[in-house]
Structure 1
Amino acid sequence: MDYDKLKQEIIEYSQVIGIDKIGFASASTFDELKNRLLRQQELGYQSGFEEPDIEKRTNPALLMEGARTIISIALAYPSKMSKRVVSKKGQRRGLFARASWGLDYHLILKERLSKLEEFIKERVPEAKCKPMVDTGELSDRAVAERAGIGWSGKNCAIITPEFGSYVYLGEMITNLPFVPDEPMEDRCGDCNKCIEACPTGALVQGGQINAQRCISFLTQTKDFVPDEFRDKIGNRLYGCDSCQTACPENKGRNFHFHEEMEAEPEMVKPLLKPLLQLSNRQFKASFGTLAGAWRGKRPIQRNAIIALAHFKDETAVDDLVDVLNHDPQPVLRGTAAWALGKIGGEKAKQELFHAQSKETDDEVLKEIEKGLQLLD
């Protein structure tokens, strides 16, 4: 088998099926990454969403017998909406980060990898392939960096010369011995704009992030957002783009190559108040195709409450009172209590005192007290 020829055929085919960049890396262990992950674990900087077994994250041989090569792919996504949402005075909106615009990217990349696997097996029937996207054991970024897709920026994102960091990443382990591509030289230099732009100081230093402080992580948690971060979240409903929009490599980068990635404005920049009343069924019907819906409606609703507090939206007081008095979720009742304190007003004060007299959950009672203190 002429693997150099096959590699070229795969590269050409990848362009036909809508893969914007492809690279080949060896399946040897990721020793440097292992050391970094162990250090992150020691410092308590992990998010908890990642694969907990560091050996599996850094040794492809544990994931597929006979692993020789990892094929890395990247698809560019838009940084600006083609259609603008029509904003009206008094109608406050939240925002989903760019990586959650359009159809859930996991589905898009899995479809591309599936076609790539089929193409390979047609030519090499004995080929073994293991595709994965984001939720797999390997680090997408570490694979992409080794495969020459881009360099690992100080914001911990892969930055490509062609598309900046606005790319989705996926990979496929194979037992085929392709010649690996060369990693790309780091081009961040002395630039620290992403570190300076991070609202919470989550970027500890170039290439190191404390996920526990990252707004993107915080918007996906299901518990109460720690007090110090609530004002920093602003109107973000899911994710955060601050470190990307600050990056000079992303200036002017806006690609609309894939129709399924196009944002529906009313979906990714929705009105805040209607979110508070959505049932699970309504939430899935309205937002279920977004990557940002993976944690369910509760985090989105909690973030919507925080956003209403950020705007000090007095028109939302009745809606927040309704959540405070009737929502079964303590996190939502408590966050609504805090938000009422931020917005202020006599009605908010009366309703907080009323809720205090009948609330039985200790955490919600603490949030009611916070709200009342804000009103003093």
Structure 2
Amino acid sequence: MNLDQLRQEIIDYSKNIGIDKIGFASADVFEGLKERLKRQQELGYQSGFEKGSIEERTEPERLVPEAKSIISVALAYPSRIKDGVKGTKEERRGIFCRASWGTDYHDVLQDKLGKLAAFINEKVPEATTKVMVDTGELSDRAVAERAGIGFSGKNTSIITPEFGSYVYLGELMTNLPFVPDKPLEDGCGSCTKCLDACPTGALVQGGQLNAQRCLAFLTQTKDFMPDEFRPKIGNFIYGFDTCQVVCPYNKHVDFHNHPEFEPDPEVAKPKLKPMLRISNRAFKDTFGHIAGSWRGKKPLQRNALIALAHYKDETAVDEMITVMKNDPRPVIRGTAAWSLGKIGTEDAFAAIKEAVDKETDEQVLAEMDKGLAFQEEFSTT
């Protein structure tokens, strides 16, 4: 078996099935990443979404004992919506981050990597292969960095020379000892645009993220959003990608290589008021195919309420009052109360006062108190 020839055949085949970039890495332990993860853990910077132990995330042989190589792939995604829609004062819109436009990238990458694995097994039946996309133990970014797909930017994204950081990543582990590619040199230099633009200071320093302060992470949580972050998410209802938008490598970058990733404007920038009353079936039918639906409708509805407060959308007050009074979920009732207070109409404050007498949940009552506290601000302005 000529591994160099097979390597080139894999590269050629990857292009045939629509993989934008491919690289090869060794399956050695990710020693530098291990130390960073330990430090993240010590500082309490983890999100809680991480899979596996630090050892499993940095020692490939724990996942595939015979692993010798990891093949990293990247798919470019769009940064702009063709024929985009705009909100109006009567119909305000939220927005999903770019990484959640179009069909869920997990499914698309799994399909392409599955084809790549089948191709390898056709050529070498005894080859071992294991595919992972985001939800696996390995760090897609660490693998991509080692495989020369791109360098790790200060915004913690992999930045490719061709596609900026607007790429989805996945990998395939194998027992075949391919010659690895060389990592790229760091390209951030003295630039700090992403650090300067982060509204919460989540980018503690170049390449280190405090997930507990990252708005992209916070929009995916299911509990009450901490007070200090509510004004900062704006109209984002899932994810947050300002740290990518400001990156010089992403200036004028907009690739539409994959029809699956083309965003439906009505899905990528949905009207906010209908989000408040959407049924489970309608939510699945409308949003079930995108990555941003993975946590269900509750976080998105909470964020939609905050976005309506951001806009001070008085046209939403009646619907928000209904939510505050009738929704069975405390997080949604409480966030509705806070948002009503933020909007600050007489009807909103009156409704909160009325609802207080019937509410029994302590957290919701606390949110109602916060909502009513805004009345003092309005009375002094």
Q: Aligning the two structures, in what range does the TM-score lie when normalised by the shorter sequence?
A: over 0.9
Unmatched 5+ stretches in structure 1: none
Aligned-partner Cα distance in 2 for 1:334–1:86: 29
Aligned pairs for 1:1-376 within 5 A: 1-376=1-376
* Count of matched residue positions in the alignment of Structure 1 and Structure 2: 376
**RMSD between aligned alpha carbons?**
0.7
Counterpart contact for 1:235–1:304, Cα < 8 Å? yes
Percent of pairs with identical residues: 66
Question: Alignment partner of 1:295: what SS?
Answer: coil
> 1:50 is matched by which residue type in structure 2?
E
Counterpart contact for 1:121–1:127, Cα < 8 Å? yes
Aligned-partner Cα distance in 1 for 2:118–2:297: 36
Question: Alignment partner of 1:80: what SS?
Answer: coil
Query: Could you list the per-position Cα deviations for residues 248-289 of structure 1 after superposition, in whole angstroms to 9, with x for gaps in the alignment?
Result: 000010000000000000011000000000111111011000
Aligned-partner Cα distance in 1 for 2:174–2:39: 29
Counterpart contact for 2:86–2:93, Cα < 8 Å? no
> 1:108 is matched by which residue type in structure 2?
V
Question: Alignment partner of 2:135: what SS?
Answer: coil
Counterpart contact for 1:58–1:138, Cα < 8 Å? yes
Aligned-partner Cα distance in 2 for 1:289–1:200: 30
Question: Alignment partner of 1:332: what SS?
Answer: helix
Question: Alignment partner of 1:222: what SS?
Answer: coil
Query: Could you list the per-position Cα deviations for residues 331-374 of structure 1 after superposition, in whole angstroms to 9, with x for gaps in the alignment?
Result: 00000000011000111111111111010000000000000001
Question: Alignment partner of 2:181: what SS?
Answer: coil
> 1:162 is matched by which residue type in structure 2?
E
C-alpha displacement of 1:91: 1.0
Counterpart contact for 2:87–2:271, Cα < 8 Å? no
Aligned-partner Cα distance in 1 for 2:14–2:100: 23
Counterpart contact for 2:334–2:363, Cα < 8 Å? yes
Query: Could you list the per-position Cα deviations for residues 116-150 of structure 1 after superposition, in whole angstroms to 9, with x for gaps in the alignment?
Result: 00110110000000000000000000000000000
C-alpha displacement of 1:65: 2.1
Unmatched 5+ stretches in structure 2: 377-381
Counterpart contact for 1:27–1:69, Cα < 8 Å? yes
Counterpart contact for 1:83–1:264, Cα < 8 Å? no
Question: Alignment partner of 2:72: what SS?
Answer: strand
Question: Alignment partner of 2:295: what SS?
Answer: coil
Aligned-partner Cα distance in 1 for 2:82–2:129: 36
C-alpha displacement of 1:223: 0.2
Aligned-partner Cα distance in 2 for 1:317–1:338: 12
C-alpha displacement of 1:88: 3.6
Counterpart contact for 2:305–2:335, Cα < 8 Å? yes
Aligned-partner Cα distance in 1 for 2:86–2:136: 38
Instruction: Report the TM-score, using the length of structure 1 for normalisation.
Output: 0.99
Aligned-partner Cα distance in 1 for 2:84–2:364: 38
Instruction: Report the TM-score, using the length of structure 2 for normalisation.
Output: 0.98
| More off after superposition, 86-95 vs 287-296 | 86-95
Aligned-partner Cα distance in 2 for 1:214–1:375: 30
> 2:33 is matched by which residue type in structure 1?
L
